[in-house]
Amino acid sequence: MTDPERMPRVLVVDDELNIRELVQVALKFHGCVVSTAANGGEALRQAETSKPDLIVLDVMLPDIDGFEVCRRLRAAGNDVPVIFLTARDTSSDTVIGLAIGGDDYVTKPFSVEALVARVRAVLRRAARAAPPEDAGEADETLRFADLELDEARMTVHRSGTRVELSKTEFRLLAYLMRYQGRVLTRAQLLENVWGWDYAGESQILDTYVSYLRRKLDPLGPPLIHTQRGVGYSLRLPEQAAANRAQQAQQSWHGEPPSEQQATGPSGA
């Protein structure tokens, strides 16, 4: 994780020399310490030895592709944030990259300014997620129904059964639990969970909600509910049904939804 008193370390992995140099110069200008690698094997070695705070990782590498590099990092217990660079702008590539533990992705050809903004956003998010030194003294557990999330230990249990989540799944569930019972808009979730304005890219949110449902729903009744045209909420099934009935009645009478239903927490 990043330390505010030192410059963040970023590893840039790409087999194209001009891209490595371009990104290296841009990130150094914005206050990062940058190292580079031209292939997956070297990326894995540097990730182990230099302990970067973030990796900018090309998907198409000559030896081990970027997805496999990320898989091996996660399998080894290395949770360094990863931003994928991909020349293939397809939803399947996006889903694969995020599902295996990637934090973000940028499609080639890309704007250097946009990549730098993504790097800074992910570093900020990682810094916020780092637990304080005295976190062990406080109760960092969120609870809703039979769901329990321990922010200090990064663990989730439902009905006493441990649920393994990726970092992004954990952040999304934690945010839903902090504002349980409220309807959270897509914009709120994308800004507060991903730390970036994913305008036009809300399929990322839908994908991760699907992941959470797939892991949580087999252990009990559905808790994450879709608010059509607005976003999502964490509610008990009977609460969700009552909310839908109220909205249907309001729609029938031409009444606008209540402020809390429409927007959730302000400034969250």
pLDDT in tens, 225-237: 999 889 999 999 8
- Token code pair at residue 165: 């989540």
136-258, which class in CATH? mainly alpha
| Amino acid 3: pLDDT | 47
Distance, in Å, from the CA atom of 56 to the CA atom of 35, rounded to the nearest integer, reads: 10
Q: What is the pLDDT of residue 52?
A: 96
Domain ranges of the chain: 9-129, 136-258
Query: Could you tell me if 23 and 32 are in contact, meaning their C-beta atoms sit under 8 angstroms apart?
Result: no
Convert the pLDDT of each residue in 132-177 to its tens digit: 555 444 558 999 999 999 988 889 999 999 999 988 899 899 999 9
Residues 110 and 156: their CA atoms lie apart, in Å, by 37
pLDDT at 1: 41
* Alpha-carbon torsion angle 126, 143, 150, 8, nearest 10: 10
In the chain, which stretches have pLDDT less than 50?
A: 1-4, 135-137, 199-200, 256-263, 266-268
Fold of 9-129: Rossmann fold (3.40.50)
The verdict on pTM exceeding 0.85 is no
Q: Which two tokens stand for residue 160?
A: 């006493």
